[in-house]
C-alpha cells in the first residue's frame, strides 16, 4: 500500500493552545508522485510485531500506532496476524524534509490494519485515534488531495483546488521540526495579523498563492529554518517555497 507525501503550500502560525502547542493554518496538498510503500511480509527475524526496513527510527510512529490499536481492544487480532508476518516498509520519502513521510506511513498502517483485520473503524474513528499519535496523520486519513488544515493539524476541510505543475528539490539537509519551531519562538509574532492573512490564503487556490505571494509570506518557518540551517538560504534567496519546516523546496513549473 502506498503512503503518499504531502506539501504545505502556506503555513501560518496563529497562536498557542492550552498545552503551548502551536496552532496553525495551512494548505496541505497530496503528492502522489512521492510515496513510501508498506506491505505484509513472510520474513521474520523476531517474535511479535516487527518492521522490516532499511530505515531506522528510534521512536517509530508505526510501532506506537500498533500499541494504540492493542490498547483499544485489537491486541488479539494483531498478535495473530504478526505471529507469522512482519510489516515491510520501503522508505522513499526523504526524512526531515517537511513532507510528512512518518505521518503518512502511520496513517497507511492504520488503514491497512482496519482493512486486513476487518476492524470496521470509520474514517472519523481512525482520525480520532490518530490525534493521540500525531497531528498531520489526520490529513492522510481524510483521503483529500487538497485541504485547509487548522488546529494543531487535526482539523481538515477539503478544498476545491487548482494545483499547477511543481518542480521539487530535496536538499540533503535534515531539518529538525522541533528545533525550527523553537527558533520561530525566539522572535515575537503578531498572531492577529497572521490570522487575517491566513483567512485570505484559505480562499485562494494553490496556483494563486504561488503566483501572488513571496516565499516568506506563505511560510512562517522559512526564516527560522534558514537561521538554523544556513545552507537553506540559497533557496530562500532564489525564490523557492518551503514545505513545512523544511528542507524540501519547490517552484512552479513554468
Give the integer Cα–Cα distance in Å for 252 and 254: 6
| DSSP bridge partners of 30 | 6
In contact, 24 and 136? CB cutoff 8 Å:
no
Give the integer Cα–Cα distance in Å for 17 and 22: 7
Give the residue from 199, 108, 151 showing the smallest Cα distance to 17: 151
In contact, 100 and 63? CB cutoff 8 Å:
no
Which one of the listed residues 6, 12, 105, 220 is annotated catalytic? 6
In contact, 194 and 171? CB cutoff 8 Å:
no
Which one of the listed residues 36, 105, 136, 161 is annotated catalytic? 136
Give the integer Cα–Cα distance in Å for 239 and 216: 9
In contact, 200 and 155? CB cutoff 8 Å:
no
Give the integer Cα–Cα distance in Å for 247 and 21: 22
Give me 182's grid cell: 523553537
Q: Is residue 136 among the annotated active site residues? A: yes
Active site residues: 6, 136
Amino acid at each position: 500500500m502506498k503512503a503518499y507525501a504531502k506539501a504545505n503550500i502556506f503555513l501560518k502560525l496563529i497562536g498557542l493552545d492550552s498545552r503551548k502547542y502551536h496552532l496553525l493554518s495551512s494548505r496541505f496538498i497530496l503528492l502522489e508522485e512521492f510515496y513510501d510503500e508498506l506491505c505484509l511480509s513472510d520474513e521474520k527475524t523476531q517474535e511479535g510485531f516487527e518492521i522490516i526496513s532499511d530505515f531506522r527510527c528510534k521512536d517509530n510512529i508505526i510501532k506506537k500506532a500498533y500499541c494504540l490499536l492493542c490498547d483499544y481492544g485489537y491486541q488479539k487480532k494483531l498478535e495473530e496476524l504478526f505471529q507469522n508476518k512482519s510489516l515491510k516498509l520501503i522508505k522513499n520519502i526523504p526524512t526531515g524534509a517537511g513532507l510528512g513521510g512518518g505521518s503518512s506511513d502511520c496513517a497507511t498502517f492504520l488503514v491497512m490494519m482496519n482493512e486486513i483485520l476487518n476492524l470496521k473503524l470509520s474514517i472519523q474513528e481512525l482520525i480520532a485515534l490518530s490525534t493521540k499519535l500525531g497531528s498531520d496523520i489526520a490529513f492522510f486519513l481524510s483521503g483529500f488531495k487538497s485541504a485547509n488544515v487548522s488546529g494543531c493539524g487535526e482539523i481538515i476541510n477539503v478544498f476545491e483546488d487548482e494545483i499547477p505543475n511543481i518542480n521539487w528539490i530535496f536538499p540533503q539537509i535534515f531539518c529538525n521540526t522541533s528545533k525550527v519551531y523553537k527558533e520561530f519562538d525566539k522572535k515575537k509574532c503578531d498572531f492577529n495579523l497572521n490570522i487575517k492573512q491566513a483567512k485570505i490564503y484559505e480562499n485562494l487556490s494553490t496556483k494563486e498563492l504561488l503566483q501572488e505571494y513571496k516565499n516568506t509570506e506563505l511560510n512562517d518557518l522559512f526564516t527560522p529554518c534558514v537561521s538554523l540551517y544556513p545552507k537553506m538560504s540559497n533557496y530562500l534567496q532564489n525564490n523557492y517555497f518551503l514545505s513545512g519546516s523544511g528542507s524540501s523546496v519547490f517552484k512552479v513549473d513554468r
